[in-house]
Amino acid sequence: MFVGHLAVAFAAKKAKPEVHVGWFIVAVSFVDLIWPILLLLGLERVEVEPGNTAFTPLAFVHYPWTHSLLMGFAWAAVLAGLARWRGVARNGAALIGALVLSHWVLDFVTHRPDLPLWPHGGPLLGLGLWNSIGGTFAIEGAMWIVGIAMWYSACRPRGVGGWAAIVSFVLVSTVIWAGGAFAPPPPTAQDVAVGALMGWIIVPWAWWIERASAPRGSLRENRPGAPAN
- Reported confidence tier of residue 120, pLDDT bands at 50, 70, 90: confident
Listed residue (1, 16, 3, 2) closest to 148, CA to CA: 3
**Phi and psi (nearest 5°) for 45?**
-145, 135
Query: How many Cα atoms occupy the beta-carbon half-sphere of 121 within 13 Å?
Result: 0
Give the CA radius of gyration of the chain: 18
pTM of the predicted protein model: 0.92
pLDDT digits (tens, 9 = 90+) for 4-38: 999 999 999 999 999 999 999 999 999 999 999 99
Q: How far is 151 from 155, CA to CA, in rounded Å?
A: 6
Number of CB atoms found within 10 A of residue 170's CB: 18
Q: Which helix or strand (DSSP H or E) is residue 89 part of? A: none
Distance CA 123, CA 112 (A): 12
Count other C-beta atoms under 10 Å from residue 44's C-beta. Answer: 21
- pLDDT digit string (tens) for 51-79? 999 999 999 999 999 999 999 999 999 99
In the prediction, which pLDDT does 219 show?
Answer: 45
Is residue 124 pLDDT above 80, yes or no? yes
